[in-house]
Amino acid sequence: MTDPLERRSPLSDLLEEGARHPDPASARALFLERVDERLSARERRVPWTWALAPAALAAAAVALFYFWPGRMLEYEVRSAKADGGYVRAIDRPAQIEFSDGTEIVAAAGSRLRVEGVSAHGARVSVESGSIRTHVVHERDTDWTFLAGPFQVRVTGTRFGLDWDAGREKLVVVLEQGSVEIDGFGQGRPVSVVAGQRFVGDARERSLTVADASAAPADGARAPAAGKGEGEGDPVSTGTTTPALPSPADPADPASLGVKAQSGQRGPSWSELMKQAAFAEVVQQAEARGLSTCLASCSSADLTALADAARYTGRGALSESALLSLRKRFGTSGGRSAFMLGRLHEAEGRRTEARVWYERSLAEAPAGPFASEARAGKNRTTAAPPGAPKR
């Protein structure tokens, strides 16, 4: 005779069936559909396990709807015309508030579309105008902002974004955290961190990152969407983070840092980074002698070398440059520790990455990299995908 305690109730079966479904919204719909079927069958056959079915299933349905893991984000649009996911801010800024605390403020005249939401973020297409965004960090946070051929991937940060559709120019200014921006579908995203400005020109097919305190080049509009009362400028400019990319002209020797025949010195490594001449920075470091450079190069050159090595796939050299930077010039406000954490995480070295993320938080608990370091710590503390459950 079967032990009653070992019997599985139909309710347990329904919940387990829903839990296996990959889409939370569809899982809830499937669960309620199965409940209706069971209640209809109850008129024909009522086993003792369904004696309290109506009350039990109603309670389970409520719990499933409100507490199901991965419940989709919801959002509310204020001060703007909204048609489904399409939002148009006409004569004043519009606010879009999401259930996870994320907020998007669109400047007057801006147009955007919330193309889709998930349990961990949303996909937002900016058709024209400026937005200012605060994406809240949670585990597995995943947000994407689209503007023309550009894709901005965000895991949690504050930034301003301006898309000039007529000129096909994107400007992104980072206040906190970091983002990765892919242009033209190259699949090689550019990292932009707090205190930096990214300018993408679709017509020139160029990607440029510079210090946010510098004046925008070529009249590029700075994002200035909807400052809240009492807020300052949308970005912090108190960082010495070196700049990154804008493709160099390989036909121009000066753009690659080659010394002219007259003996004049070529561009600095920081300038080469602005020209995306990453390989040239590494080559010049090798020409000087890597050991010599690590022991004697300036703080700016070591920072440029660390970034250039990372962008060219020289992870070990990037790590050595960051460690030398820390040993000779200090912690740099948690940046070097954060970059070491990111470097190790990308290489699958989760334990080392977690140690560096924790060190970055200890060095600058309220610094510009704190939110990203905290998210990295959470990622590397959690069990890796596919790991057996205990």
Tell me the average confidence (pLDDT) per consecutive run of 10 residues in the chain, 390 residues long: 50 59 55 63 50 53 49 87 85 90 92 91 93 86 91 87 90 90 78 88 85 67 50 32 33 32 62 78 92 91 88 88 92 85 87 93 86 85 62
61 and 105 fall within a common domain: no
Residues 132 and 210 in one domain: yes
Residue 104 DSSP SS3: strand
Q: Are residues 89 and 31 in the same domain?
A: no
Measured CA distances, 228 to 83, 101, 366 (Å) = 25, 16, 21
- CB 93, CB 79: distance < 8 Å: yes
Q: Is 328 helix (H, G, I), strand (E, B) or coil?
A: helix
The answer to whether residue 230 sits within a structural domain is no
CA distance 229 to 379: 34
**Are 62 and 95 found together in one domain?**
no
- Give the pLDDT of residue 106: 93
Does residue 389 lie in a domain region?
no
Q: How many independent structural domains does the chain possess?
A: 3
Are 118 and 94 within one domain? yes
Domain closes at, from 40, 67, 94 = 67
pLDDT at 36: 63
Residue 79 lies in a domain: yes
93 & 208 share domain: yes
* Residue 361 φ/ψ region, left for φ over 0, alpha for ψ in the -120 to 50 degree band, beta for the rest: alpha
What's the pLDDT score for residue 222? 65
Residue 371 and residue 261 in one domain? yes
Residue 238 falls inside a structural domain: no
Q: Sign of torsion, CA 337 340 342 344?
A: negative
pLDDT for 30: 62
Residue 187 lies in a domain: yes
290 and 319 inside one domain: yes
Identify the domain containing residue 88 by its residue range: 75-219
Structure tokens at 316: 């070990």
CATH number of 268's domain: 1.25.40.10
- Determine the Cα–Cα distance for residues 190 and 143; give it in Å rounded to an integer: 16
Report H helices in the chain: 10-19, 24-42, 53-67, 269-274, 278-288, 290-296, 299-311, 315-329, 335-346, 350-363, 370-381
pLDDT reported for residue 283: 92
Alpha-carbon distance 124 to 33, whole Å?
Answer: 32
Domain boundary pick from 21, 46, 67: 67
Residue with tokens 């209809």: 40
Parallel, antiparallel, or unpaired: how do β-strands 75-78 and 94-98 relate? antiparallel
pLDDT at res. 60: 55
What pLDDT does 123 receive?
93
Q: Are residues 114 and 197 in the same domain?
A: yes
Cβ-proximal residues to 245 (8 Å cutoff; 6+ apart), any chain: 190, 207, 208, 209, 273, 274, 275, 276
Q: Answer yes or no: is 3 within a domain.
A: no
DSSP 148: T
Assign residue 175 the CATH number of its domain: 2.60.120.1440
Compute the residue count for the chain.
390
Residue type, 37: E
Q: Are residues 89 and 146 in the same domain?
A: yes
Are 356 and 341 within 8 A, CB to CB? Answer: yes
- Return the SS3 of 268: coil
149 in the same domain as 133: yes
CA distances from 193 to 37, 86, 163, 335 (A): 53, 29, 19, 10
**pLDDT for the residue 249:** 35
- Is 387 part of any domain? no
Does 85 share its domain with 156? yes
Show Cβ contacts of residue 101 under 8 Å, excluding neighbours closer than 6 positions.
Answer: 136
The one-letter amino acid code at 222 reads A
What is the model's pTM? 0.48
Give the residue from 177, 200, 219 where a domain finishes.
219
Q: Does residue 239 sit within a domain? A: no
End-to-end Cα separation, the chain, in angstroms = 32
